[in-house]
Amino acid sequence: MVEKNRGDGAANPLVMRRRLKAAEVAEMLGYRSLTTLRSRMNSGDRGFDPDFPHPRYIENGRKFWELGDIIVFLEKKEKAPSALRRVPVNRNKANTEAAEQN
């Protein structure tokens, strides 16, 4: 994972500003597809999460997320009560573990 501590307790600003593509964000959060990522941002979708960080845009409408925004989102979700938290599930891993137990 990304080291965010410089040794003095502060996050490295250059690491935290690292630009992530949609596929990298989806993988980091354990989402199986980009559709899941899009549903977190779409207020009309049942998977909408108002706390999900919005992407930033650069030339030609290309979008990216900053690593720091994703880390803050994950930390906020970890602190949320379990009833309110939506924990991403890697279904492939869960299915593999279930099959191994049987």
Residue 69: inside a domain? yes
The radius of gyration computed from the CA coordinates of the chain, to the nearest angstrom, equals: 16
The per-residue pLDDT for 17 is: 84
Residue 27: inside a domain? yes
Between CA 56 and CA 63 the distance in angstroms is: 5
Kind and range of the H or E element at 93?
helix 91-101
| Structural domain containing residue 64 | 13-101
The per-residue pLDDT for 88 is: 52
The per-residue pLDDT for 80 is: 72
The confidence band for 86, taking pLDDT boundaries of 50, 70 and 90, is: low
| Cβ atoms of residues 18 and 2 within 8 Å | yes
Largest CA distance in the chain: 51
Q: What's 56's domain CATH number?
A: 1.10.1660
Residue 1: inside a domain? no
Residue 6: inside a domain? no
pLDDT at position 102 over 60: no
The per-residue pLDDT for 9 is: 46
pLDDT in tens, 62-75: 999 999 999 999 88
pLDDT in tens, 2-57: 444 444 445 677 678 889 999 999 999 999 999 999 999 999 998 899 999 999 99
pLDDT at position 91 over 60: no
Residue 82: inside a domain? yes
pTM of the model: 0.63
